[in-house]
Structure 1
Amino acid sequence: MNERVFKAMSDGTRRKIIELLKEGPKTAGEIANHFPYAQPTISRHLNVLKNANLVVDQREGTYIIYRLNTTILQEWLAWLLEHFGSGGSDE
């Protein structure tokens, strides 16, 4: 499993961005409106998510639209379930 995915998902702000993008594509400004941080902070978080391939971006006119890469997210969740999922208690 890609270590960058774990790094990306370890931060609460980035997890919230993932939740927002689950609702549909958004611009950086639309994402930033949900946080008390400056735009550059959100851009850094988006870059971490992009480097982990959890988010893809596409220019549309003067905007950059961010979308969730559900394939990588599903692979990560499948890996988590395989290694830590409900298989009974070891206690």
Structure 2
Amino acid sequence: MSQLNNKVFHALGSDTRIKILELLDEGEHHISELARELRISVPVAAKHVNILEEADLIDRRIFGKTHVLKPKRKNIYIAMNAFAPTKSIEVEKGTTLLDALRGVAAIKVQKKGDREVIVSTDGEEGLYVYEINGEFSEKSVKNCVLEKDTTIEWKKLEPVTKIKLDIHVKE
């Protein structure tokens, strides 16, 4: 495991630091705000913030004596990728990604409009996308033909709220 991963998992091993990330997910805060909301001292909050910074999970911008913090969501998502299993398979040249996937997982395919899409992998329903060697592909898994050694990252899109809207309609 890399040194950065060790720092990330150490940083996420504290309820206080998790709460800090949750507060920052709601919007930018400065350290004294975090301390007040968490009912801890500013030095203790600063210590937790430093650990989150060392793990590259938050950004800090300094305006005079005020330190404004926000989460680095991309790095949090990258840390979660450490839990993805890796499976190695060998296929014939010209095999489709769909056939390769069928060789390692139980796939459920459903027709959506004019396309067939995978709606379940190993019994887990959801919306799936894939990357080929780190790049998203526009091709369907049925039309993605494997011609050389390739790394595929099969990703389930999780319903993570990006923004909440509390809409009030006037009569």
TM-score range relative to shorter protein? 0.7 to 0.9
Aligned equivalent of 2:82: 79
Which of the residues 49, 72, 94 maps onto 1:46? 49
Residue 1 (structure 2) pairs with residue 3 (structure 1): no
Query: Which one scores higher on RCO, CA 8 angstroms, separation ≥ 6?
Result: 1
Deviates more, 1:25-34 or 1:14-23: 25-34
Please state how far the C-alpha of 1:62 moved relative to its aligned partner: 3.4
Q: Look up the equivalent residue of 1:16 and give its one-letter code.
A: K
Unaligned runs of at least 5 residues, structure 2: 86-121, 124-171
The amino acid across from 1:66 in the alignment is: L
Q: CA deviation at 1:32?
A: 0.8
Name the stretch that deviates more: 35-44 or 48-57: 35-44
1:53 match: secondary structure = coil
Aligned pairs, number: 85
For residues 13-68 of structure 1, give each alpha carbon's deviation from its aligned partner in whole angstroms, at most 9, with x where no partner exists: 00000000000111001111112221111100000000000011001243110010
- Structure number, greater radius of gyration: 2
Supply the RMSD in Å over aligned alpha carbons. Answer: 1.8
TM-score by length of 2: 0.46
Percent of aligned pairs with the same residue?
27
Amino acid at match of 2:18: R
In structure 2, C-alpha distance between the alignment counterparts of 1:7 and 1:62, rounded to whole Å: 28
Show the 5 A alignment for 1:6-85. Answer: 6-80=9-83, 82-83=84-85
Point out the structure with the larger strand share. 2
What 5-or-longer segments of structure 1 have no aligned partner? Answer: none
Amino acid at match of 1:59: I
TM-score (norm 1): 0.83
Higher-helix-fraction structure? 1
